[in-house]
Chains A and B, each alone.
Chain A
C-alpha cells in the first residue's frame, strides 16, 4: 500500500452565527492524500474547498474554528499543534501556492531576495550553495535567464512569471506536499496552459504530492490523478480523475459537466437549476436535493452517506447513483442557437483608434489626441442587427477598451462609430443625447461591483426606467416586476439588497437593468467570468432567450473561448488592439487560420483528461504593440520573414466569409493545422 502523506479524519470546521448556532463550513470530511499523487479539489465558491486545503496545512481562517476531527501529517494532528511546531512544517514539509502571486510577493524586495529568504528559513544551505540553488529553482520553473530575473522586482514580471516565482519559492523548502489554491485563475488562457504544464512537470520531477484547488474542471483535468468534488461543505464524489470526468456518478458532477460549454460543440449547454445553499440553511436531507434531477422522497428527509464502491474505486454520496452508473457518457444537450441577424447594419466601427497615452500640453489645449502607436488601432467592424458578435483576446488585447468607446466612456483618437447606418455616435458621453445613451447599455463582469450595495433591486431597476421613460408610481412598479419576471426572478425580489442575492441572481438583476432601457445594443463585458460554472450556463441561456424575444444585438467580450463559442454568431479575434481575424464563429473555430487564433484555441482547457492543450507560442507578455508590421510578430511561430516586421498584413477572405489578417497565403494557412 502506498504511503499516506496526509490523512484528514472526520474534519468539521464552522463558525458561530450571531444567534449562537453552530454553522458548518466543512462537514465530516475524511480523505487521504497519497505520496506522489495530485489530488484536485473542485467545487463552486462557498463549497469549502479552500477551507479544506488550508486545514491541510493546519490553518483555520479567522472567525472559523475546528469543531471536530483532525488533519494528520506524519502522524501528528496539525490542527492541535502549537504554532512553534507548525512553523517547522509549513514551508519545509507543506508549502502553499496562492491564487494571486502578484499580491503574495512583497513588492519592494527583489525576486532573488525573496527566494533566498525562503531558503534561509527552510534549508541549512550555506550562502554559496543558496546562490546556486536560487538559479536552479528559477531554472526549474522555466524562467528565462535566472540571473537577471533574480534581480528584478515583482512588478517587473508578468502574471505568469510571478506565478512561476511563487512556485519556485514553494519548492525552496523541498516540500512533501504542495497546496495550490486556484493558482491559474487570474491568468490568461495561454499562460494558464503553460503554468499547468509546468506544475505537471514538477509533480513528476520531484515526486511531490499536490492538492490542487480550483473551480475550473478544465484545469483540474489537466493536472490531477484523483478528484474530490465538494458541494456545500461535503465531499460528494471522490475517485480517479478519468472516471469522474468521463463517467461522473454523482448528479451534481454530472450536471456540472453538462453545463460547461465545450469548444467542439456550438450552442448553449443545458443549465442546472438553482444555486448552492447557504451554509446553515439545509434542514436535513441531501444538500443537493432541490437541484437534482434524480432525487426522490428519500433524498428529502435522509441525507446520504459517502459510500465507497469497490469496483469503481470511487466514493459517492448519493442514494441513486446507480441510475448514473449505467449511463455511458455525459451526453450534452445543446440548445443550438439560431443566427437571428438581419441584413440591416446596426453599428459600424470604422478606422477606430483609441489611445491611453498621456497628452502633451499643446494637444490638450487643442483638444486632440496624438499618439503614433495607439493601444487600439484600425478597428473596422460592422455589426448586423440581431447578431451576437464576440471580441476575444488575452488581457491587454483592447477588447474592453473598444467596448468603453462604444458606450461613450472613453474618447477615441480617430474613427467613426455609426449607429443605424446614418447616425454618428460621439465617443464622449456629454455629446450624446439621451436617446443615444439609451440604445446602448452595458452589463459588467462583476455584479458585486455593478450594483449599488445600498439600493434595493427595485431601486436598481427603476433607475433607467425613471431616467429614460419618466415612469412613476404604479406604472414603474409594474414595469419592474415585468422585467424581474423576464429574467426569471419573482416579484418578492424587489425589496432585497444585492448582498442578499446569490451571484447568479445579482447578474440577472444587472441584465434586467440593462433591458429596462429597451436598448438596441447590449455590451456584455465578461458577464459570466465572475459566476460559478453551474450558474454561468443559466445566465447564458437567459441572455440568448432575451435576445430572441427582443431582437437585441449583443457585443460580447470574453477571454473564455468556449463561452464565446456557445453564444456568438460571429467572432473577432484581437491581439494588442489590432484585429487578427473576423468571421462567423463556426469558421473561426473550425479553421483556426490566423496563427494567433491557433494559439488561443490550442491553449483552451477542456474538462477531459484526453484533450491536452497544445502550446504553440511562448507565453511572453508584450507591453506595447509593435510600431511596424504585424501585431503578432513577437510571438508568432509561423513568421514568414522580414515582411511580418515591416508591413501590416493585408486582409484575406476565405470562401466562407472569414477575414484573416496575415501575410501567409490563405491556402497555406488552412493547410497547416494541427
Chain B
C-alpha cells in the first residue's frame, strides 16, 4: 500500500504528547507570556525558603515601614518585617493550597459530572439539584462558617476550597459527557455489555479529559482569588504565615504613605492570576478546545 508513508504519525508516548502541547502553547506570544509567568512563580515557590534574605517573622520595631532600600528591596511593613521575603514566601502558600484545592475540585467535580452525565435519569436529577442548591449559597459565607467551626489550618482550607470550586466543574463535566454519550461508540460499548465503570474509564474519560482539565485550570485562578479574599477577610491562613491576602489586608490602612507594603503582594497575586489565565487559554487552544468559538459561516 502506497499511502503508508503519508501517515507517519505513530502513537506517541505521553511525554512526547506533553512536550508537543507545551511547544504549541509557547508558540503564541500570549501563551509564552503566561507560561513564563507561571513557571517563574512555581520556581520561586520551590526555592523561596532558601533564597529569602530575611526571617519572615522577625519583628523589629526599629525598622517599621522603611522605604525600599538595598537591604530591604521592597521595604518593610508596620511590624518591621521584610516585604520581599514575605512576598516570595506568600506565593508559596497560595500556590500550594490552591493547587491541591483545584486538584480535589477536579477529581470530585469531574468524576461526579461524568457519572451523572452517563447514568442520567433520576440519580442525575437528584445530584444536580443538590449541586444547584450549593451553587446558590454564597460560597464565601459558607467558607466563613466552615473556617470558624474547623479552624484555618491547611487541612481544612484545601478540601473546603476544593469542594466549593468543584461544583462548577460538575456541570462542565456533565455537559461534556452528554456530548460524548450520544455518539455511537458509547452505544456500541453498551451493546457489548461493558460495565458503567469500564465505559467511563475507557470511552468517556479520554474524550472529556481535555475539557475538564481546561476548566480546572481556569478554576485554579479563581480559587487563588477566592483564597486571597478569605485571607484578606482574616479567615485564610493565620498570621504570621506570609500570605498575600493577609499582607494586603494589613498594609491597606497605611497605603497613603507606605505604598510598597501593598504593591508587592498585589503584583504577586495579579501576575500569578494573569499567568494562570493565559496559560489555561493557551492550553485550551493547544488541545483544540477553542474557548472563543467563532460563529460558523
A→B interface (CB under 8 Å): 61-62, 274, 277-278, 281, 290, 407-409, 429, 432, 434, 437-438, 440-442, 444-446, 449-456, 463-464, 467-468, 490, 492, 495-497, 500, 513, 517
Contacts and interface: CB of A to CB of B under 8 A. Distances in A.
Interface stretch (B6-14, B54-62, B229-237): B6-14
A409 B191 contact: yes
Contacts of B11: 456, 495-497
A450 B1 contact: no
Contact of B191 (A277, A408, A453): A408
A517 B192 contact: yes
Contact of A449 (B185, B189, B203): B185
Contact of B192 (A281, A446, A455, A464): A464
Interface range, B side: 20 to 34
A467 B194 contact: yes
Give 4 closest A-B pairs by Cβ, nearest first.
A454-B206, A437-B193, A450-B184, A495-B11
Nearest to B2: A290
- Of the candidates A408, A445, A463, the one having the most CB atoms from chain B within 10 angstroms of its own CB is A463
A463 B189 contact: yes
Nearest to A409: B191
B185 A500 contact: no
B193 A452 contact: no
Interface of B: 1-4, 6-7, 9-11, 183-185, 187-194, 198, 202-203, 206-207, 294, 297
Contact of A407 (B2, B185, B191): B191
Contacts of B3: 274, 277, 281
Nearest to B7: A500
A438 B193 CA distance: 8
Given A429-B190, A452-B203, 7 more contacts: A432-B193, A441-B191, A442-B188, A442-B191, A444-B188, A449-B183, A450-B185
A429 B203 contact: no
Contacts of B188: 442, 444, 450, 513
Query: In terms of DSSP, what is the predominant structure of the interface of chain A?
Result: loop
A456 B9 CA distance: 12
Nearest to A502: B3
B9 A492 contact: no
25 contacts: A62-B297, A277-B3, A281-B3, A281-B6, A290-B2, A408-B191, A409-B190, A429-B193, A437-B191, A438-B192, A442-B191, A444-B187, A446-B184, A449-B184, A450-B184, A451-B185, A452-B203, A452-B207, A455-B202, A463-B192, A463-B202, A464-B192, A490-B1, A495-B10, A497-B11
Contacts of B192: 437-438, 441, 463-464, 467-468, 517
Nearest to A437: B193
Contacts, number: 77
Contact of A500 (B9, B187, B202): B9
Given A452-B185, A452-B207, A455-B206, A429 B6 contact: no
Contacts of B198: 467
A467 B207 contact: no
A121 to B, nearest CB: 18
A582 to B, nearest CB: 25
A453 B207 CA distance: 8
A494 B57 CA distance: 61
Contacts of B184: 444-446, 449-450
A290 B1 CA distance: 9
B8 to A, nearest CB: 10
Nearest to B210: A454
Contacts of A445: 184
B1 to A, nearest CB: 7
Given A449-B184, A453-B207, A496 B191 contact: no
Given A450-B184, A467-B194, A492 B4 contact: yes
- Of the candidates B1, B187, B191, the one having the most CB atoms from chain A within 10 angstroms of its own CB is B191
Contacts of B2: 290
B6 A434 contact: no
A2 B190 CA distance: 61
B176 to A, nearest CB: 13
A484 B70 CA distance: 72
A495 to B, nearest CB: 4
Contacts of A497: 11
A432 B3 CA distance: 43
